[in-house]
Structures are given as structure tokens and as C-alpha cells.
Homo-oligomer: A and B are copies of this chain.
Amino acid sequence: MKNTFGNSVALTVFGESHGNMIGAVIDGLPAGITVNEDFISHQLDLRRPYGKISTPRHEADKFEIVSGVFNNKTTGTPICIVIPNENTKSKDYNYGIARPGHADFTAFSKYNGFEDYRGGGHFSGRITAGLVASGAIAISALEKKGIKIGTHIKKCANVEDADFGDYIKDTNELNNKLFAVLDDKKGEEMIKKIEAAASQNDSVGGVLETVVTGLPAGIGEPWFDSVESMLSHALFSVPAVKGVEFGAGFNCVDMLGSEMNDAFFYDGDTVGTITNNNGGINGGITNGMPVIFRCAIKPTPTISKEQNTINFVTNENIKTEIHGRHDPCIVHRARVVVDSVTALVLCDLLSQKFGTDWLGEK
């Protein structure tokens, strides 16, 4: 369904990079969630550019919640959040040049030339600000139920971060970092490598690894709304994601069944598994263990290096250099977007299982 995703909790996005406003409508969240505007701002800040390694488009991301919140609580009706666009330098963009790795040509193919092409239009990463603002409210709801989401930069510019290990239990520190690594030294290495790529007018990508704790067993569907299906559907909508894997993911293909299978145990109180190669999901349904997945984020396609391409209006083969603002890496910024869509999908799955009032606020 085009720009809407979700069953019981549905998110609709709208806006273009250089239009008047971007935003989102979140429908179906339970009534009674406390909406903390400071937390929304905090999340939006995590999505915003960071230091030398990001684009100089420094917008304040002033959002306005125009509906669905009353006396600082969600009302249960659609929450529309709008974020006005400022600082929109349209002059940087020319129509007809198919920037390699971008959607200029595919947008033209789809929308017959009527697309708002400025700054990537509706395909712009800027639209993710609406996801993040919406996701912040979903995250608040989940935390009330003891469900926590944490994502770190597992790999960036060929540098690997530490393993999650015990951080699975406390994601707060991680969630407040602008450059979310477990091992800050590795983070510094990554940043140096990003800066090096930038100085070559080039860009780098990375892997984000996410863990969700506190989910009850029994969430999700065998066909077709498995937890993996619903999450991957949302995650592959995040610009630059080219791969999604759960638990052992692609590494599972080098394992034997006896290594991959997660043995169940009962500790007198709870059922768990000794390993978690299935990422907390069996048959599409949560088993009560942490849900673990990874997203491959491609290197930012916007680079200032000269590239071969076409002008699709004139059908000429041309060379292009993309000037103006851009990020040599968006992995660290994509992190909070991943957390946000994860939270929205989980609220949807919880609402389907437990009903509209799953939060239990009265």
C-alpha cells in the first residue's frame, strides 16, 4: 500500500526534500502514551548530521504534533507530525541528470517527469525525519512495557565494533551516543576512515546491528506477517539498506544444523535458548529471546567524484560531479531510523496480538 505500512498500527509518510513540509501520520497507537517532546527532539538530533563526517545541511528539525495528542498523552486517534523544511537550496539540482545510485532515473520512469526532483524529492533521506519522530512515540510506548531496542554500528568503513554481549541488557548508554559504537576506540577509527574517504570525494557504508529485548513469546505470524517479514518490509524502505538478516543470518549457511539449532531450556521460571542463532524468532514468531538483526547500509551514493551517467531527458551520455552538501557516511544517522521503524512494527504486532489497549493505560 504505497506510503502506508502496518496493519493495526499504520504509518503514512509524506513530503519532499524541498517541499513545504515533510511529515508522518501514525495511526493505531494506544491511547494514553505520554508524549515527551524532548525525547522526540533528542531522537531527531541523533538523525541529524554529526560533525565533519556529515552534510552541512544543519536544520533544526522543528517538528509540530498537529493532532492525536491531548494533555501530553496520545488520544488513540491519528498522530500527525509535520516538520517544515528550511534551508532548501534548490539551485544545487538540475533535472535530467541520473545521479548514479540515486532514484532520479527510476522516479522519472515511474512518475513520467512530474516528480519533484529537487534534492531527491520524496526519495530523500529527509523523509526519515518523519519516521524518527513517529518512532520516538512508539519507543516510549514499548519502554512502558519493558521492551527495549538498541542498535550499534557493527561495521563501518571496514572497521568492526565490539560484540553486543552484555550490552544487550542495557541499551540506554548506546542509544544516547551520536556515533553509536560499543567500543569508542573503534568508533574513532571508523570516523578517521570516513574522513579519509570524504577527502577523496568518496563515501563508505556499514552494518547496523539491532537487538530488541523484552518481547513476549508468541508475537508474529507464520505466513506472511512473520516478524522477519514485517521488519524487513519496513527496513528495506529505509534508504540505502541493501540487506537484512536475522540471528546468524548469512553466516548460518556455513553452519551445521546441530550448530545452528538453539537448544531450549527452562530455568524454573522462564523458557530460553542457550544460543540465539535464530534471532529470537522461530517460524516467524517470537520465542521470548532477544530479537537480533543486521542491516547492510550502502555507501552514500552522493559523492563529488566525477562519474559517468546519462541525462535522461536528452538521452546523452554525460559526466557529472555532484556538488553541494552530502554525507560521506550515513550509517551512524541511519541507526535511529532503524530503531524507529522497528518500534513501529513491534507496536503493530503487539496491537494485533493484544488489541488496541495493549499498553493498558486507563
Contact = CB atoms under 8 A, between A and B. Distances in A.
13 contacts: A12-B12, A76-B115, A77-B115, A103-B222, A105-B264, A106-B286, A229-B237, A232-B236, A236-B284, A243-B250, A258-B303, A266-B310, A271-B312
Interface in A197-237: 197, 200, 202-207, 216-226, 228-230, 232-234, 236-237
B261 A244 contact: no
Contacts of A82: 21, 66, 80, 82
A218 B109 contact: yes
B278 A101 contact: yes
A123 B283 contact: yes
A245 B245 CA distance: 8
Interface residues on A, range: 35 or more
Contacts of A308: 263-265, 274
A223 B3 contact: yes
Nearest to A263: B308
A114 B73 contact: yes
B282 A102 contact: yes
A207 B245 CA distance: 13
Contacts of A315: 266
A260 B234 CA distance: 23
Contacts of A362: 112-113
A299 interface: yes
A243 to B, nearest CB: 3
A233 B74 CA distance: 27
Given A257-B202, A285-B106, A222 B122 contact: yes
A68 interface: yes
Most buried by B among A7, A155, A236, A237: A236
Contact of A257 (B224, B300, B351): B300
A84 B263 CA distance: 34
Given A75-B115, A80-B14, A307-B261, A229 B233 contact: yes
A281 B241 CA distance: 11
Given A253-B155, A264-B105, A361-B112, A248 B298 contact: yes
A96 to B, nearest CB: 12
A310 B270 CA distance: 11
B252 A205 contact: yes
Contact of A110 (B252, B285, B301, B361): B285
A205 B198 CA distance: 39
A285 B107 contact: yes
A297 B249 CA distance: 9
A238 to B, nearest CB: 9
A53 interface: no
Nearest to A110: B218
Contact of A66 (B19, B286, B305): B19
A161 interface: no
B260 A301 contact: yes
Interface in A153-186: 155-156, 158
Interface stretch (A22-30, A37-45, A54-62, A140-148): A22-30
